Chain A
Amino acid sequence: MATVSLKKLTKRYGNLEIVHGIDLDVADREFIALVGPSGCGKSTTLRMIAGLEEISGGAIEIGGKVVNDLPPRSRNISMVFQSYALYPHMTVRENMGFSLKIASRPQPEIDRRVAEASAILGLDQLLDRRPSQLSGGQRQRVAMGRAIVRDPEVFLFDEPLSNLDAKLRTQMRTEIKKLHAKVNSTVIYVTHDQVEAMTLSDRIVIMRDGYIEQVGTPDEVFRRPATRFVAGFIGSPPMNLVEAEIRDGKVDFGKGETLPLPRQFKGKVSVGQKVVLGLRPDDLYPSGHGIHSGEEEDVHQIELPVSVTEPLGNETLVFTEFTGRDWVSRMLNPRPLKAGDRIKMSFDLSQAHLFDAASGNTLRS
């Protein structure tokens, strides 16, 4: 059993508090991703779990056992570093077998376990090379191999793919997913890339400024963002988020520009309340070029001018001017458009979000 629990976990450097008493329970064999912008405390949290940073308050439990003051080697974890951190003076074989050598395992066992791990990762041909003779993707694989060989209860990944180019990153992402299915350990994966978090994990933890904003499945954080921050952070291109006020049962953006109040928020807002309306690019599209997810009556149409288009082949991102700013929309089966064209836009308000402007929390409740 390798559950991981964080209880009021706090990190301070002097008077500066970086992580503010966060709570998190990771189930056995769960793949959990910590995401957030740089400086949100996700890496610090991971390093505290690894035992590389001392904790300033709270507790960390691994497998039900408090490990607060245990050194990294006694926590039964493996970590893959962003920099890979391969030992340059050792061959791939020695790198992978290093932990077993330190643990004084017999040589035949080391050889066998290195062979097993290298077979999983396709490193058989590279065992006698040194890290400097490997490509970025291969180094990444060796770093994972070194983690697997230890057969830990918990794998920690610290932005493992961010030094790879886009193509390799996609490929390694798939491999990590396969790997998790094979080794069946608990994984805590830190990334700033929301696509990695969405595609890999069972649950996502979104952090900001040392607080947890939301914990949920990829679907939950995408469809039901708890805060304005999560709404803007998850999804690409990001959700349109525009400040407004509730007036006459409408969402009023000022200057006479309004949208009807989405039905799911009726009775949850009060007149005069300052809100932020959020609408994903998928739920805003040139009429006839998208799919609405709710009822027909929830789709609201307005004719708007096009300011920029970004053709992507299978779809085009269309930026239309509304409420004094550009709203990004996704146009399926694209037809050519040029700046200045006026087109009819569909707002699928059944998918709209409203957040309290002051607190940033969702008004859905």
Chain B
Amino acid sequence: MMDDNATARFKRRLLKIAHQVGLLLAMVIICLPGIWIMLTSLRPPVEIMAKPPVWIPQEINLDAYVAMFSGVGKGGIPVLEYFRNSLIISVTSTVIAIAIGMAGGYAFARFRFRGKSGLFLGLMLTRTVPGIALSLPLFFVYARLGIIDTHFGLILAYVALNIPFTIWLIDGFFRQVPKDLAEAAQIDGCTRWQAFWQVEFPLAGPGIASSAIFAFLTSWNEFALASQLTRSVNSKTLPVGLLDYTAEFTIDWRGMCALAVVMIIPALTLTFIVQKHLVSGLTSGAVKG
């Protein structure tokens, strides 16, 4: 006779293994495109285009990266200019979007005012319009204003794109900070402003940081609008720069993937750094026993 406990133990172990295999498969599926981009950037074009595909790389070199940085005319592209544009535009638009998002999110979380829910819904509805649908009208307006191919133009577009999202996220984080804390701070001698910076902001900080990552990544990766509103090295961002690798009859997949890797690395690093500070549960212990 089989021991019931042994059966149960066996089942539990089996389930655990199945669980881990499932997780591994999911991870492979999620990571594969990234890994493939990485590999493609390191392989000679012959291998990339080979049919049937060569799964295991036979030859690995950094030719694509060397070419990329070797300047225009030698197979290179103005990658540093693109990088600089991307950085300026993403950082500036993120800072502005977070500043406005904090003000807006706080107002939605704390104050009662007329038309609050309507306004909130309106903000969210702007997110339902696909960015690409706006590109043509935006192009006309920008052309009239003369801000095509400027940092300012793109920053403006990205701020508008990010604000509803940051307001929505930050609203949620401020809601998690108990109202009692700001009131206690005011009784302890703070002005409303001091109560915000001394108590509510530090507690919502991790949430605001994660909203900042979202906003930054949206701007950093955005392609549809940038491809319409930028022209030259004055304002072209990295995603638009990818198009430099397409010629009339050919596409340099290797170069494109190499640029993609250059794009991914800062974003990945940033996420990695900030993520460590996203300590959840910081508000626990404030109220209740």
Contacts and interface: CB of A to CB of B under 8 A. Distances in A.
Interface of A: 50-52, 71-73, 77-79, 81, 83-89, 98-99, 102-103, 130-136, 139, 146, 150, 163-164
B83 to A, nearest CB: 36
Given A85-B180, A88-B284, A102-B198, A163 B190 contact: no
A102 B194 contact: yes
Contacts of A71: 186, 191
Given A83-B178, A85-B178, A102-B194, A78 B187 contact: yes
A78 B188 CA distance: 7
B88 interface: no
A156 to B, nearest CB: 8
A103 to B, nearest CB: 5
B287 interface: yes
B191 A73 contact: yes
Given A134-B285, A139-B289, A81 B188 contact: no
B180 to A, nearest CB: 4
Interface centre among A83, A134, A135, A146 (most CB of B within 10 A): A83
A99 B183 contact: no
Given A102-B198, A103-B189, A139-B289, A88 B183 contact: no
Q: Which 7 A-B pairs have the closest CB atoms?
A: A136-B289, A132-B285, A83-B287, A85-B180, A99-B188, A85-B184, A131-B285
B34 interface: no
B189 A102 contact: yes
A96 to B, nearest CB: 10
Contact of A79 (B187, B191, B203): B187
Given A102-B194, A102-B198, A164-B289, A88 B203 contact: yes
A88 B285 contact: yes
Contacts of A103: 189
Contacts of A50: 183, 187
Nearest to A80: B184
Interface residues of B, number: 25
Interface string B155-197: 0000000000000000000000010110111111111001000
A139 B289 CA distance: 8
Interface of B: 178, 180-181, 183-191, 194, 198-199, 202-203, 282-289
Given A72-B187, A87-B199, A88-B284, 14 more contacts: A52-B187, A72-B186, A83-B180, A84-B288, A85-B178, A85-B183, A87-B184, A88-B283, A102-B188, A102-B189, A102-B194, A146-B188, A163-B288, A164-B289
A190 to B, nearest CB: 14
A164 B183 CA distance: 22
A89 B188 contact: no
Contacts of A85: 178, 180-181, 183-184, 286-287
A134 B186 CA distance: 24
11 contacts: A52-B183, A71-B191, A72-B183, A78-B187, A79-B184, A81-B184, A83-B178, A85-B181, A133-B285, A146-B184, A163-B288
Contact of A132 (B190, B202, B203, B284): B284
A84 to B, nearest CB: 6
Nearest to A75: B187
B191 to A, nearest CB: 7
A88 B288 CA distance: 12
Nearest to A129: B285
A225 B178 CA distance: 39
Contacts of B190: 73, 102
Given A71-B191, A98-B188, A130 B289 contact: no
A62 to B, nearest CB: 13
Nearest to A87: B199
Nearest to B281: A132
Nearest to B188: A99
B278 to A, nearest CB: 15
Contacts of A139: 285, 289
A89 B203 contact: yes
A130 B288 contact: no
A155 to B, nearest CB: 11
A77 B188 CA distance: 9
A95 to B, nearest CB: 9
A102 B183 CA distance: 14
A103 B185 CA distance: 12
A98 B198 CA distance: 10
Contacts of A132: 284-285
A89 B282 contact: yes
Among B187, B189, B199, B287: residue with most chain A CB under 10 A:
B187
Contacts of B203: 88-89
A52 B178 contact: no
A133 B194 CA distance: 26
A85 B287 CA distance: 5
A52 B289 contact: no
A222 to B, nearest CB: 31
Task: Specify which of A72, A81, A86, A102 lies most central, judged by the most chain B CB atoms within 10 Å of its CB.
Answer: A72
A73 B189 contact: yes
A339 B181 CA distance: 53
Contacts of B283: 88
Contacts of A102: 188-190, 194, 198
A98 B187 contact: no
